Chain A
Amino acid sequence: MPDEKKPGEVSRPAAPPQAAPKPPAGMAVTPWESELTQLLKSQFGDQISEFSIYQGQEFLVAVPEAVIPIIEFLKLEADFDYLVDVTAVDYPKREERFDLVYILYSFARNQRIRIKTRIKEGYRPLTAVDVHLTANWLEREVYDMFGIEFAGHPDMKRILMPEGWHGHPLRKDYAITQMDNEWVKENVGIESGQ
């Protein structure tokens, strides 16, 4: 709504700005301390900047170079033998544009943790395929959707979108109706899919 008032408009008291809902008690990020964090601290030192718990879910934030060593260390030393998911979140206004998120689970401990890292656009994080085979398709999907290329990945190509497609749909600057019109024209034979 534009700020300047139109002539003749009745002036009304401004509505109070809608406050974001107050988080219920106990919904704050609390520090995460356990044997596991001690072990990781002694091994990786200040490469891990944060150990936290939110809503009962444990996560840590590390520098990008340390992520694969941490995943490997956790697999060998702490039984985190199942890589649940690899995904990314796009924050276009931030200097380090992407959050890269790895979710790990340990069958022996029955514990699930998240590893997060921030990377700049164009940074090529190391692949996790050498540690967990399941990372193969998951990383291909991250590449497909966000354009993050993983270094050392055996088969770095698109997985859901067609091979010749331009653009990465889950980036925030990719509009929801946007499509690669040239690709559509060439392969589907119509002017536009919209």
Chain B
Amino acid sequence: MAQPTFLDSTELVLNMGPQHPSTHGVLRVILKLDGEKVMGTECVIGYLHRGVEKIGENRTYQMFAPYVDRMDYCAAVCNGLGYCLAVEKLLGVEAPPRAQVIRVILTELNRLSSHLVWLGTHALDIGALTPLFYVMREREDTLNILEKYCGARLTTHAFRIGGLQYDIYDGFEQEILKFCDMFPSKVDEYEELLTNNRMWVDRLTNIGVLNADDCKAYGVTGPMLRAAGVKWDIRKAMPYSGYDKYDFEIPTRTNGDTYDRYMVRVQEMRQSTRIIRQAVQDIPPGPIMAKIPKLIKPPVGEVYVSIEAAKGELGYYIVSDGSTHPYRVRVRPPSFVNLQSLDKMARGALIADVVAVIGTIDIVLGEVDR
């Protein structure tokens, strides 16, 4: 890739990663520099490639479910929800209402913990050390609830195809409500630290700008798309799991820069809390598992089901040949597709801003490489 460069300067090629603390795992970025200015980037990925899609073809539908948690390990519940919905679509069944509501609560809790990790590490990359300690405190609360519910904190395998394995524990509602009462004031705390912080604003404004057209061209979804002013959220556009019953807004901004993405994600945390509060106050009685055969053999066919995961559109394209094993499982990972826009955002920026740009995409390398 030949990049235009000034005549009187020499181009420098610099390797960033794979063992670099601000690349959020094992992402290697080859930077082409002119002084401090980035003339081009190239991502080298695949260090965490485990062949999840291949594993899926060699496992039964139920056996594959825990594997999907290992992709985006910061938002494992979202992964599980997408997979369960896709297989349920293949089978032509729907989870019972009680299961759907509990799914929504846990998924939104997990979205919170994912956004919190993002906020802490992103701020850390920029040089603000304090928020990390604050967010870990609240993340602990969300993870404790997940742990109490299903015994696991990160790779939860919380849902089963057709519904849930476990009903909620005693005191679940009270604990969640207590969390919902407490959490917005904590978000205020983060905002107090960052939103009007002069250094934070200066470091992020007009960095890594991606306007709405660029977002669509690069297939960028999730908070990045909404920060560019596109009011699009699959929870509203193509509701699943009863999201249409809840009253919440899609936060958007207009500039599409790193600061706007920060604002969108912070607003999203408040909206998620709203959803959780509405859901937990109205958990319907009834069964938690649909009628599902012990051996899942979906009829021949193929479906694509996508959900709004914490990072963007997470889709599963599953082809069934009528046997107990999926013929093909394709995961459409949001991080992988969003990461592609790094070159567009980083070009022309300073090398220190590349760190901010990588952070703002909110990548999880487990999901990029699968």
On A, residues with C-beta under 8 Å from B are 20-24, 26-27, 29, 54-55, 57, 81-85, 87, 89-90, 101, 103, 107, 110, 112, 114, 132-134, 136-138, 141, 145, 158-162, 169-170, 174, 176
Contact (Cβ within 8 A) B340 A55: no
19 contacts between A and B (CB under 8 A): A21-B293, A24-B92, A27-B92, A29-B301, A82-B219, A84-B219, A84-B306, A84-B315, A87-B332, A89-B327, A107-B232, A134-B220, A134-B340, A138-B337, A158-B46, A159-B46, A169-B54, A170-B54, A176-B58
Q: Are A176 and B303 in contact (CB under 8 A)?
A: no
Instruction: Rank and list the top 9 A-B pairs by shortest CB-CB distance, nearest first.
Output: A134-B219, A160-B46, A23-B299, A24-B92, A85-B332, A87-B330, A160-B49, A133-B217, A89-B328
B residues with a Cβ closer than 8 A to A are 45-46, 49, 51, 53-55, 57-58, 89-90, 92-93, 216-220, 230, 232, 237-238, 293, 297-304, 306, 313, 315, 317, 319, 322, 327-328, 330, 332, 336-337, 340, 369-370
Q: How far is the CB of A39 from chain B (nearest CB, A)?
A: 21
- Give the residues in chain B near A20, CB-CB below 8 Å: 297, 299-300, 322
With A27-B299, A55-B89, A176-B55 already in contact, the answer to whether A82 and B216 are too (CB < 8 A) is: yes
Please, how many angstroms separate the alpha-carbon atoms of A83 and B57 in the complex?
Answer: 25
Which residues on B sit within 8 Å (CB–CB) of A83?
Answer: 219
- Interchain CB contact under 8 A, A161 and B330: no
The answer to whether B330 touches A133 (Cβ under 8 A) is no
Asked if B49 and A161 make an inter-chain contact with CB atoms under 8 angstroms apart, the answer reads: yes
B219 contacts which chain A residues (CB < 8 A)? Answer: 82-84, 132-134, 138
The answer to whether B218 touches A134 (Cβ under 8 A) is: yes
* Smallest CB separation, B290 vs chain A (Å): 12
Q: CA of A117 to CA of B173 in the docked complex: distance in angstroms?
A: 49
Please give the distance in Å from B369's CB to the nearest CB on chain A.
Answer: 6
Q: What is the CA–CA distance of A176 and B332 in the complex, to the nearest angstrom?
A: 21
Contacts of A159 in B (CB 8 A): 45-46
Contacts of B328 in A (CB 8 A): 89-90
Residues of B within 8 A of A81 (CB): 216
Q: Given A82-B219, A84-B313, are A110 and B238 also a contact pair (CB < 8 Å)?
A: yes
Chain A's nearest CB lies how many Å from the CB of B64? 13
Residues of B contacting A170 with CB < 8 Å? 53-54
In the assembled complex, which residues on chain A have CB atoms less than 8 Å from the CB atom of B54? 169-170, 174, 176
Contacts of B46 on A, CB cut-off 8 Å? Answer: 158-162
- Nearest Cβ distance between residue B222 and chain A, in whole angstroms? 13
- Complex interface: chain A residues within 8 A of B332 (CB): 84-85, 87, 103
Q: In the assembled complex, which residues on chain B have CB atoms less than 8 Å from the CB atom of A110?
A: 237-238
Decide: A107 and B306 in contact? CB cutoff 8 A.
no
Bound CA span A109–B54, Å: 34
B366 to chain A, nearest CB (A): 13
Chain A: minimal CB distance from B32 (Å)? 15
- Within 8 Å CB of A82, what residues of B? 216, 219
Chain B residues whose CB sits within 8 angstroms of the CB of A87 once the complex forms: 317, 330, 332
Q: How far is the CB of B187 from chain A (nearest CB, A)?
A: 29
Quote the shortest CB–CB distance from A29 to chain B (angstroms): 8
Nearest-CB residue, chain B, relative to A154: B1
Indicate if the CB atoms of B299 and A132 lie closer than 8 Å: no
B218:A133 contact, CB within 8 angstroms: yes
Is the Cβ of A57 less than 8 Å from the Cβ of B303? yes
Smallest Cβ-Cβ distance to A142: which chain B residue: B330
Selected contact of A134 from candidates B93, B297, B337, CB within 8 Å: B337
Residues of A within 8 Å of B89, CB to CB, are 55
The answer to whether A137 and B92 touch (CB under 8 A), given A101-B317, A160-B46, A169-B54, is no
Besides A55-B90, A90-B328, 15 new A-B residue pairs in contact (Cβ under 8 A), listed by A number: A24-B93, A26-B92, A54-B301, A55-B301, A57-B303, A87-B332, A103-B315, A107-B230, A112-B238, A132-B219, A134-B217, A134-B220, A141-B336, A159-B46, A176-B55
Assess whether B216 is in contact with A107, with CB atoms less than 8 Å apart.
yes
Which residues of chain A are near B330, meaning CB under 8 Å?
A: 85, 87, 101
- Chain A residues lying within 8 Å of B51, measured Cβ to Cβ, are 169, 176
Q: Specify which of A158, A159, A160 lies most central, judged by the most chain B CB atoms within 10 Å of its CB.
A: A160
Nearest CB in chain A to that of B304: its residue: A103
CB neighbours (8 Å) of B300 from chain A are 20
Chain B residues in 8 Å Cβ range of A161: 46, 49
CB distance from A154 to the nearest CB of B (A): 9
Q: What residues of A have a CB within 8 angstroms of the CB of B90 in the complex?
A: 55
Cα–Cα, bound, A81→B298 (Å): 32
- State the CA gap A24–B237 with chains docked (Å): 27
Q: Which residues of B contact A137 (CB under 8 A)?
A: 336-337, 340
Contacts of A133 in B (CB 8 A): 217-219, 340
What is the CA–CA distance of A87 and B220 in the complex, to the nearest angstrom? Answer: 17
